[in-house]
Amino acid sequence: MAVRAVVSSAVAATIMVATMATAHADDPLAPIRGTVNQERARTACAPLAYNPALEAAAQQLVRAPSAQAFQVTGYDGTTVKSWGYGDPEEKAITSAFANGAFQNVNNCSLAEYGVGFIRNEEFEEDTVAIVFGTPRAVPAPPAPDLKPTLTPIPAAEPPLPPTNAVQVSFTRGVLQWTVTVTSTADIPGTCTYAATNPVLPGTNRNFTIDPKGTANLTVTAPPPLSAYHVVVACSGPFNGKTVEFGRVEQDVRA
């Protein structure tokens, strides 16, 4: 009771000043706000910011059937509430401060507040509510990643060996034919020439060809009306391996 009396007397002086400052105002919330702000100024805490969401909660609190069971909604943070009754309004404010508002004003962790008021003409009594709040802390954005992003360099595609790089043509004579072999490959080659007939003797020759080169072979002309199956194949070095870079097969008739 002694503590309540000290609180009541200390706040009463503040209420008188706040009421006198708003005596000509029609806003019943002004004396409550003035008392809260002046009492907060007596502390070492930062000033309280007025929050419309907490005012809406305080206005609901003064109209709630049970102030003790009332739950604050619509505010993103933690809240505490104080309320009081009396007539005139100054006594209701004093009652609210004696009912916890004084401790809340001195709590530096509380940063915002809102107030509510209602007049009950039937009981000739005012109800005052003060809801204090601490907004939820917004997490700091993650620090930017200052490390450079390294884009991997794709491995170079291995070169492909030449293929289908040999062409064969024939220049026909009466007794001899000239076989012309042309290579479009970038590598030198060792080639074979084979002409076969099921009945007649065949011809086999080995020769070399330069990169993108041409080789000419002189062979005996086949007998009239005969046909030979001719195969020309060329191989050469590529990336440490021997690869066949051309093969031509065709039937040649005399």
Predicted local confidence at residue 52, as pLDDT: 96
Q: How many CB atoms sit inside 10 A of residue 87's CB?
A: 13
Predicted local confidence at residue 7, as pLDDT: 55
Predicted local confidence at residue 138, as pLDDT: 83
All structural domains of the chain, each given as residue ranges with its CATH number in brackets, are 2-135 (3.40.33.10), 166-253 (2.60.40.10)
Integer-rounded Cα radius of gyration of the chain: 53
Instruction: Report whether 183 contacts 157 (CB < 8 A).
Output: no
Question: For residues 72 and 78, what is the distance between their CA atoms, to the nearest angstrom?
Answer: 9
pTM summary value:
0.50
> How would you write the pLDDT of the chain (254 residues) with one tens digit per residue?
444 554 555 555 555 545 554 444 478 999 999 999 999 999 999 999 999 999 999 999 999 888 888 888 889 999 999 999 999 999 999 999 999 999 999 999 999 999 999 999 988 999 999 999 999 988 888 888 788 788 888 888 888 999 999 999 999 988 899 999 999 999 999 999 999 999 889 899 999 999 999 999 999 888 888 899 999 999 999 999 999 999 999 999 88
Element (H, E) at 32: helix 30-41
Question: For residues 231 and 192, what is the distance between their CA atoms, to the nearest angstrom?
Answer: 8
Predicted local confidence at residue 248, as pLDDT: 95
